């Protein structure tokens, strides 16, 4: 893999994980929106490039997972600029797509077992969040215990994707 692509993928995943988590802890709505906008944009770029990487490697299931992740992140990005409560519909759709994407990236054996297991936990938790919102539960992106407790599993998955990218030739 070309070193420039590795840098972009790693930077996008690091920005996504760090700023996404930071956004869950800030109290200012505008700062949170800004952090999540940068987070989402970085993740969209990184997962689009990961999709291309895995398509070229003949790993269609993983590639599809990264494409679905990028779409889910783009759906969420659309709701980021408004108030937290207004973002709930796009958040529900995005978490549904994140869940599907994480499952798709976990099926093939292209990642270490621990990465696949962490991704499966994240997929399950975000799937529950999405189903609950679509069933009428009042859940925002900051609701505890879920989705708040699901984010660390997502970020650990990013760490596994970064590790895999660093090792790639």
- Helix or strand holding residue 40 (H, E): helix 29-56
Model pLDDT for residues 54-68, shown as the tens digit of each residue: 999 999 999 999 999
pTM over 0.85: yes
Torsion of CA 143, 127, 10, 110, to 10 degrees: 150
CA 106 – CA 102 distance, rounded (Å): 6
Model pLDDT for residues 100-156, shown as the tens digit of each residue: 999 999 999 999 999 999 999 999 999 999 999 999 999 999 999 999 999 999 999
Domain that holds residue 132: 3-167
Residue with token string 């299931």: 61
Is the torsion defined by CA of 74, 118, 17, 163 positive or negative? negative
Per the structure, the count of domains in the chain is: 1
What CA–CA distances, in Å, run from 157 to 7, 59, 120, 133, 135?
A: 18, 18, 9, 23, 27
């Amino acid at each position: 893999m070309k070193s420039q692509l590795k840098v972009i993928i790693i930077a996008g995943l690091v920005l996504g994980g760090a700023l996404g988590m930071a956004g869950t802890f800030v109290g200012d709505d505008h700062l949170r929106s800004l952090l999540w906008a940068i987070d989402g944009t970085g993740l969209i770029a990184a997962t689009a490039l990961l999709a291309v990487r895995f398509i070229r490697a003949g790993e269609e299931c993983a590639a599809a997972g990264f494409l679905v992740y990028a779409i889910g992140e783009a759906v969420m990005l659309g709701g980021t600029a408004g108030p937290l409560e207004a973002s709930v519909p796009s958040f529900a759709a995005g978490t549904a797509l994140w869940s599907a994407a994480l499952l798709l990236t976990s099926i093939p054996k292209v990642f270490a077992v621990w990465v696949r297991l962490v991704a499966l936990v994240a997929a399950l938790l975000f799937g529950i969040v999405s189903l609950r919102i679509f069933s009428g539960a009042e859940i925002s992106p900051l609701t505890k215990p879920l989705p708040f407790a699901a984010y660390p599993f997502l970020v650990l998955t990013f760490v596994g994707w970064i590790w895999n990218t660093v090792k790639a030739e």
